[in-house]
Structures are given as C-alpha cells and as structure tokens.
Amino acid sequence: MALRPDGGRAARAPQGAERAELIERTLEQYRRHLNPGLARLFQFGGVETVEWAAEGCLVWDVHGREYIDCACGPAIFNIGHRHPRVLAAVRDQLERMPMSVRTMPSVPQAALAERLAQLSPGDLQYAFFGNSGAEANEGAIKLARLATGRPGIIAMQGGFHGKTLGALSATGRDHYKTPFEPLVPQFTHVPFGDASALDAAIGSTTAAVMLEPIQGEAGVIIPPPGYLRQVREICDRRGVLLIADEIQTGMGRTGRMFCVEHEAVVPDIMTLAKALGGGVIPIGAFVARPHLWEKMRRDPYLHSSTFGGNPLACRAALATLEVLVEERLPARAEPLGAQFLGRLREIQAQHPSVVSAVRGRGLMLGVEFVHPDLALMTSAEAGRRGVITFYTLNNPNVIRIEPPLVITPELIDRAAQGIAGAVADAARLLDPVPPHAGGRREAPAGP
Ligand SMILES: Cc1ncc(COP(=O)(O)O)c(C=O)c1O
C-alpha cells in the first residue's frame, strides 16, 4: 500500500529485512516479557506488523499501510491524533518544566481545574487530577465515602469502571473480578436502566450510585429515555450521591461535552480520563460539587498522587478543551454519528444472520454480532481492510465504532465500506454453501 504522499513518518520506518526483524523481535518480546496471551491474540487476528505513526483520523503501520482509526484507543483520540495545538502546548511546557515540584502552586493545574469547572454541568467545581480512568474512579469512590460517612456503592450490571481494586469492585462483569476476590466490600450491582431496582437497592449504608450515562464496555448500552433524570431524582430523595463515569462518554463523544447533559442531569461527582489529555498525555480527573469537598479541606493530602495533575498533562488537557470548544466538536458528533449509524444499519439489513443490532449516540456506536467469534473475525478483517475497530471488554459480541470527532463524511464512507466487506467475509464463513447449491447465502457487500 502507498506511503503517505508527503513521505512523512511512515516513509522513515525501517525497510526490508530490518523491518521484518523489528516486527519479529517485538512480537517475541510480547511473548517472552510482556503478555503472551495478547501475542496469541495478535497472531489469531493476523496482525503481523507494528504501529508506527498517526495523524488526525489516520494511523500507519511500519509497512506504511494506512488505517482509519474507528476505535481511538479506545475513545482517547476525540480531537484526532497529534492535534497541533496540543503538541505545541506540550512542547512549550516540556521545554520549561514538565513535572511539578509540588511545593509551589502549579499554573497549568489551577487553570485546568477552573476551565473544567466552567465547562462541567451545574456546580461541579473542585477537581482532583490523576493519571487514568480507574484512578479517577478510585478517587470518586473515596470522596463519596468520605463525604457521606457511609461505605456502600451501588453500581450497574455490565458497567465498566477500570481494573484497580476499587474500580474493579464497581465493574459489573465477574470474568474480570472473580480471580481477584475478595474485592472491596459494600459494592452491589443492579440492572442498568431499571430505576425501580435501583430505588429498592438503596439502604441506610449507601453512599453513592455509580454509573456510566451510556455503558461503553457493556456493548454501547443506551438506557431508556428519562432514566438518568429518574436516577438523579432517586438519589436526591434517598440522600445518596450520584457518580457519573464520563470517562468514555465525555469530551464530546456522544454529541454533548458530557453525556449527562442530554438529560440536563448534574451528578455530584463526575469522572473523566481517556480523551481529556487529547490522546497525547494521559490524565484522569474527578470533579465534585463544593459541599463534598469539606472534609478534604481539612487535610489536603488525604488523597494525593505524585504524577497527578502534572504540568505536561494539564497543558495537554487545557489545549484539548479549547480545541473541543472552538472547533465545536461535540456538535459535530451528532450528524456524523447519524451518518455512520445509517451505514451500519444498511450492513445489518444485508447480513441479519451475522449482525443482530447496531446502536449508538453521537460517535459512540456499537455493532452487535450473533456470536463473539463473528465479532472477532469482523474486527480482524476490518483491520486488514484498513479500518481499526475494537471489541468491548464486557460484551465480546459487540465491536465499538468510536472514531475521532474530526472524522469527515468521506472517511466515514470509506470506513463503512471496509466494515461492510469484513461483515460479508464473516457471513461467508458462517455459511460457505454457494447460492446455486440451494443454500442460504447473504448478498455480498462492500469491497
Ligand atoms: C467508562 C470507563 N470507566 C473507566 C475506565 C478505565 O479507564 P482506564 O483504563 O484509563 O483505567 C474505562 C476504560 O475503558 C471506561 O470505559
């Protein structure tokens, strides 16, 4: 496949025997020193390459092959790969002071906290910065316990909040939890979207309800309309806090800066990560209403992190927020998402025996298959056709489509064509009987 016309980074990748040696060495390092299971998965997916460069919506491997990024890492490249404004801000900070000494106030950290408060719904006002989504959720859980003096957290079946012990305790899939039990006590789970079940589960020891406004890793599950408002009302009536995990849904992904805004809901604590750092520097955060911060005020080191809120990450996040606002990227996600969803619906209509559902909001889309192997095969084949997708951690039947919000209608068409071709291939494997032999066979689609 052609290298980039400008002969950029991909062209500077090693060639020939040197390239083959680099790929083999890297896969061997995975097998011997990093993650043999992942190496096996790469092998199964036919991934005989390594990632090399990225820009905007595109990624290149070491062969110079081009991919449209429809997974985004997942969900971290909302403003595209290597946005120039984020790179410039990070370079500027890198030249001066990348990390904080912490004995003096940090300008980028304070500015980011203020900007987040301005953009967050309602009176969410105080921010704490960490380095990942799980860490943001750990902090939110601790703050809920501290502020209420109660230990209980009610989370959602199928939900995903990360894999550190506290966040894992809130996560709703046993597969990831059972091997590490006992987890943190006092976590219970109720069905997502069922307000009565939630109301019934709240007791005298409940501190908070924790949910994703749209469940990402559960397979892009959208709750019934009005559910978030009902949850807010229940929490208010029962005197418990609402923690909204916007780590995947936030930063414009669903058509609003934060997904709770679709129902004008103000959570008590909101957690962020993934796209907050612009896909350049990792950063996580929880933002809380002021009255919850009372007990934190008494001891500023009650919760802390060495690298959390470092100047590099905060400059990246500040630049990312400006790009999201000035380029109006949340609003872009709605029409582009509708276009992509329309194309996915056509694919489903052509292959109903392979694709059982498509759904989504903004550019947070999911394609559900009748069997996990078909999801895996389609994702692998889409990769071979130059489209990156990714399955969802708590629902292997579903692959997610979460491209950068800067994607163009033309790239959506190209990506949809690649996915259609991959689904058609999966359909052929499912039913290899040729049509003239009288067997069931779906119409071929895409390239
Ligand atoms: C909703 C949600 N919360 C938390 C996390 C965990 O984030 P991290 O992997 O940065 O710890 C994820 C990651 O997929 C997520 O989707």
Q: What is the CATH number of the domain that holds 134?
A: 3.40.640.10
The tally of domains found in the chain comes to: 2
Claim to verify: residue 22 and residue 101 sit in the same structural domain = no
- pTM comes to 0.94
Last residue of a domain, one of 284, 301, 326: 326
3 assigned to some structural domain: no
Q: What is the CATH number of the domain that holds 16?
A: 3.90.1150.10
Last residue of a domain, one of 309, 326, 343: 326
What local confidence, expressed as pLDDT, does residue 63 receive? 95
SS3 424: helix
User: How much of the chain, in percent, has pLDDT values that exceed 90?
Assistant: 89
Last residue of a domain, one of 270, 294, 326: 326
Claim to verify: residue 173 and residue 249 sit in the same structural domain = yes
Alpha carbon distance 416, 340 (integer Å)? 7
As given in the structure block, the two tokens for residue 379 are 């994702």
β-strand pairing of 390-392 with 66-69: unpaired
Provide DSSP, 328-355: THHHHHHHHHHHHHHHHHHHHHH-TTTE
Claim to verify: residue 234 and residue 383 sit in the same structural domain = no
Claim to verify: residue 233 and residue 338 sit in the same structural domain = no
* 182 upstream amide cis, omega within 30 of 0: yes
Testing ligand 1's pocket by substitution, the residue of 168, 220, 247 carrying the most ligand atoms inside 8 A of its CB is 247
Claim to verify: residue 394 and residue 336 sit in the same structural domain = yes
Tell which atom from ligand 1 comes closest to the C-alpha of 249: 1
Domain hosting 100: range is: 84-326
Q: What is the pLDDT of residues 255-289, one digit of tens each?
A: 999 999 999 999 999 999 999 999 999 999 999 99
What local confidence, expressed as pLDDT, does residue 433 receive? 52
Claim to verify: residue 220 and residue 343 sit in the same structural domain = no
349 pLDDT more than 90 = yes
Q: How far is the CA of 446 from the centre of ligand 1 (A)?
A: 33
As given in the structure block, the two tokens for residue 100 are 């904080």
Claim to verify: residue 28 and residue 148 sit in the same structural domain = no
444 assigned to some structural domain: no
What local confidence, expressed as pLDDT, does residue 430 receive? 76
Claim to verify: residue 121 and residue 40 sit in the same structural domain = no
| Helix, strand, coil % over all residues of the chain, rounded to 5 | 45, 15, 35
339 assigned to some structural domain: yes
Alpha carbon distance 144, 69 (integer Å)? 36
What local confidence, expressed as pLDDT, does residue 378 receive? 96
9 pLDDT more than 70 = no
Tell which atom from ligand 1 comes closest to the C-alpha of 215: 1
What local confidence, expressed as pLDDT, does residue 432 receive? 57
For range 293-317, the mean pLDDT: 93
445 assigned to some structural domain: no
Claim to verify: residue 341 and residue 416 sit in the same structural domain = yes
Nearest to 307 by CA among 106, 115, 126, 125: 106
pLDDT-based confidence at residue 8 (cuts at 50, 70, 90):
low
Give the residue whose CA is nearest to atom 4 of ligand 1.
161
Question: Is the distance from CB of 55 to CB of 82 less than 8 angstroms?
Answer: yes
pLDDT-based confidence at residue 12 (cuts at 50, 70, 90):
confident
Q: How far is the CA of 74 from the centre of ligand 1 (A)?
A: 9
Q: Give the active site residues.
A: 160, 245, 274
Alpha carbon distance 181, 175 (integer Å)? 11
Q: What is the pLDDT of residues 60-93, one digit of tens each?
A: 999 999 999 999 999 999 999 999 999 999 999 9
User: How much of the chain, in percent, has pLDDT values that exceed 70?
Assistant: 94
Q: How far is the CA of 159 from the centre of ligand 1 (A)?
A: 10
pLDDT-based confidence at residue 296 (cuts at 50, 70, 90):
confident
Give the neighbor-by-neighbor strand order of the sheet with 387-388: 51-55, 58-61, 66-69, 387-388
Q: How far is the CA of 161 from the centre of ligand 1 (A)?
A: 5
Helix (H) or strand (E) holding 375: helix 372-384
435 pLDDT more than 80 = no
What local confidence, expressed as pLDDT, does residue 434 receive? 54
What local confidence, expressed as pLDDT, does residue 10 receive? 54
Using a 6 Å CB cutoff, which residues line ligand 1? 132-134, 137, 160-162, 212, 216-217, 245, 247-248, 273
241 assigned to some structural domain: yes
Claim to verify: residue 73 and residue 97 sit in the same structural domain = no
Q: How far is the CA of 245 from the centre of ligand 1 (A)?
A: 9
Claim to verify: residue 267 and residue 315 sit in the same structural domain = yes
* 74 upstream amide cis, omega within 30 of 0: yes
53 pLDDT more than 80 = yes
Tell which atom from ligand 1 comes closest to the C-alpha of 159: 1
Q: What is the pLDDT of residues 141-199, one digit of tens each?
A: 999 999 999 999 999 999 999 999 999 999 999 999 999 999 999 999 999 999 999 99
Testing ligand 1's pocket by substitution, the residue of 76, 160, 394, 402 carrying the most ligand atoms inside 8 A of its CB is 160
1 assigned to some structural domain: no
Greater confidence (1 vs 139) lies with 139
Nearest to 65 by CA among 407, 385, 409: 385
392 assigned to some structural domain: yes
Alpha carbon distance 316, 283 (integer Å)? 9
267 assigned to some structural domain: yes
Q: What is the pLDDT of residues 237-257, one digit of tens each?
A: 999 999 999 999 999 999 999
Tell which atom from ligand 1 comes closest to the C-alpha of 273: 10
What local confidence, expressed as pLDDT, does residue 443 receive? 35
Claim to verify: residue 316 and residue 172 sit in the same structural domain = yes
As given in the structure block, the two tokens for residue 441 are 């066979």
Length of the chain: 447
